[in-house]
Structure 1
């Protein structure tokens, strides 16, 4: 495993404009917190607090490189694109160890892919360019790796999650949130600039 925060594209404290799904459903948060608890004591991992659980949909760009009115323009354009689109429900997976942390994936991301395509179209409607491509893997991070380490002990700790009889929870997406997000190792913090409700 490697240090997630050893990034070359973003400095500590620098804000980026991004669309997130904030994980707010109490049942989902409880399940993820229970799984996250199995990682307690792993010194190379920084757990994500309940209020920091999120699924990144689309990074728009560094806030200081965008026009001052970019957040308002993007929010308006994405709201237009999402008009008439109702809430979507997806099933999460059990946690797994990846190169820079421990994450929970999405079993069938078709609905989220469609939602993301609408967000990307809205960003384009606002006259902004997106630098990343279509290669996107939706996931929720439970803990970030903060140093180089082997993943074996982490996998052993996750046996608790693997044996959880409740199984992975279903996540219903009610809204998407536009954030000014900053990397402040060992976590991320943000200000919510706007939110678009999904209501058919």
Structure 2
């Protein structure tokens, strides 16, 4: 995955106006849980238990990443089929609702859940067309990925000069642990 992302990033770097996302920080965000300073350990433990129950019967996911595109303030690659991530989100939210009550939709998802992996963020205004053309010239095969687990992370948003999300893993929840 990192190699294909690096190829696409190299194609758009000459146009400037970007903060590239390093390979170590590539991710797909499903659901926010809460701010660290406002979320108790017992709440987190309840979320982990509820989500674990809901995803334990879901087998590991097979997704592919084919072509990047410009989405609002970022260059992203959408996973296919997206339906499996929609189902995963439903299970995550249901597990949270089971264990801690009704959870809010995250601000990013209020317009609807669009699963994607960002590879660069725009840091200045400009036309999307040069980036779109450059991305279209890259010849790369699709990349298939098996998703075996979800990670509950403690995230830190680093602004200038990096503009990147960094995190540590709090807990990993296995998909399909109850599937025989």
TM category (shorter chain) comes to 0.7 to 0.9
Mapped partners of 1:168, 1:78: distance in 2: 30
2:86 alignment partner in structure 1: 113
1:158 to 135, 138, 149: 135
Q: Tell me whether 1:104 sits opposite 2:80 in the alignment.
A: no
Cα distance per residue 1:145-179 (max 9 Å; x no partner): 11222212212221333xx1x43222221111001
Question: Matched residues in 2 for 1:93 and 1:36: separation?
Answer: 14
Indicate the larger mover: 65-74 or 111-120. Answer: 65-74
Structure 2: segments with no counterpart, 5+ residues: none
Please identify which structure carries the higher helix content. Answer: 2
TM-score, normalised with respect to structure 1? 0.77
Q: How many residue pairs end up in the alignment?
A: 170
Q: Deviation above 3 Å: which 4+ runs of structure 1? A: none
The two structures, once aligned, show a CA RMSD in angstroms of 1.8
> Using the alignment, how far apart are the partners of 2:14 and 2:75 within structure 1?
14
In 2, distance between residues paired with 1:130 and 1:36?
36
TM-score by length of 2: 0.85
Counterpart among 42, 50, 53 of residue 23 in structure 2? 50
Q: Distance in 1 between matches of 2:148 and 2:10?
A: 26
Paired with 2:111 and 2:130, the residues of 1 have a C-alpha distance of: 33
Compute the displacement of 1:107 (Å). Answer: 3.1
Match of 1:177 among 119, 141, 151: 151
